A and B are shown apart, each in its own frame.
Chain A
Amino acid sequence: MIGELAENSIYFGVLLSLTAYGVGLWLKRLTGWALVNPLFIAIVLVISVLLLFDISYDTYNRGADIISYLLTPSTICLALPLYQQIELLKRNYKAVMAGILVGSLSSVCIVLLLALLFGFDHASYVTFLPKSITTAIGIGVCQELGGYVSIAVAVIIITGVFGGIVGEKIFNILHIDEPIARGVALGTSSHAIGTSKAMELGVVEGSMSSLSIVVCGIITVVLAPIFANFL
């Protein structure tokens, strides 16, 4: 019954997504745990509903597509907090660049190391190379290097969600108390999804994270083709 309703409504996808995210926010407020991530809960809920009522992804996405449509404008808006924090960036230029460079380099190195350890073939290996950068750049890199694009999309998004969930825990364990360092780390490891988490932490974290998406993305575009030759 619900499946039939879904098929006949273009609002179903949006309704389901927003409701699921609302439940996620509510659960976070209720429990107060950092590990309860509204985005993660929303994804699990939507997938469960689709599987439970046997609704296809295309039916869901027919409506939900208008949500994805706003992603580019929303990412562009990150330029505003970045602009407002420009003085802070100028003062800490070296630290920010060092953090992004170390992060991007360690990303491709650890992927190479683990791919060798697990005996991945070339295609699986290059699928993981762009995992820390924003989806749109990552897809391009993966395609260029001959990886599995559909897996890359999933890998990049789960990386972002996972980074947003564990970020604060890692910062507490390592005593990372500089907002700039937190922002750079979230943006470099978990791209735009990490940045939406960084925005929750504060405007300094958010703007440094936005900058990291851009710079880390560009560095990886250069690094990934070089590292692709190693396996």
Chain B
Amino acid sequence: MRLLFQFLIIVVISFVGEMLNHFIPLPIPASIYGIVILFTALKMQWIKPHHIGDVCRFLILIMPVLFIPSAVGLIKSWDLISANLLQYVVILMVSTVVVMAASAIATQQVIKRSKRKQQQQQ
């Protein structure tokens, strides 16, 4: 019963997210509304972590598997992609590496700077 209740909470939030996505004319998906709703509910203590913990851990654990079907959908648009394959691959790889490096360096630099400041104050 406990797992069923936990899953019910998540499904209710998914449903509300879906409704918001439907009625608000912004390109924001149900899942993003859902994250904000669940986060707010946890913050306001309407929902406690133990009310959803087991189901959350399971769903997060299996997350990579959930991407398989849409990734395989790549074969449907293969004809469009294969026409410019090389350029697409280059732009995809280069930009992913650049973004990963840029945001990692930026975050780490700011953290290091504030750590140094704290040490100086002490």
Q: Taking the complex as formed, is B19 at the interface, i.e. its CB lies under 8 A from any CB of chain A?
A: no
A185-B73 CB under 8 A given contacts A38-B64, A151-B81? no
Contact status B103-A99, CB under 8 Å: yes
Q: Which A residues have a C-beta under 8 Å from some C-beta of B?
A: 13, 17-18, 20-21, 38-39, 42-43, 46-47, 50-51, 57, 60-61, 64-65, 67-68, 70-84, 86, 92, 94-96, 98-103, 106-107, 110-111, 114-115, 118, 120, 124, 128, 131-132, 134-137, 139-141, 143-144, 148, 150-151, 153-155, 157-163, 166-167, 170-171, 174, 176-178, 180-182, 184-186, 188-190, 192-193, 195-197, 199, 206, 210, 212-214, 217-218, 221
A185-B77 CB under 8 A given contacts A77-B56, A78-B60? no
Contact status A47-B108, CB under 8 Å: no
- Chain A residue numbers with a CB within 8 Å of B18 are 72
20 contacts between A and B (CB under 8 A): A67-B69, A68-B70, A71-B66, A72-B31, A74-B60, A75-B35, A76-B10, A76-B14, A76-B35, A76-B37, A83-B49, A98-B110, A136-B31, A137-B29, A167-B100, A174-B101, A190-B100, A192-B67, A193-B67, A217-B28
Chain B: residues with Cβ within 8 Å of the partner, total of: 74
A42-B96 CB under 8 A given contacts A47-B74, A174-B104, A184-B107? no
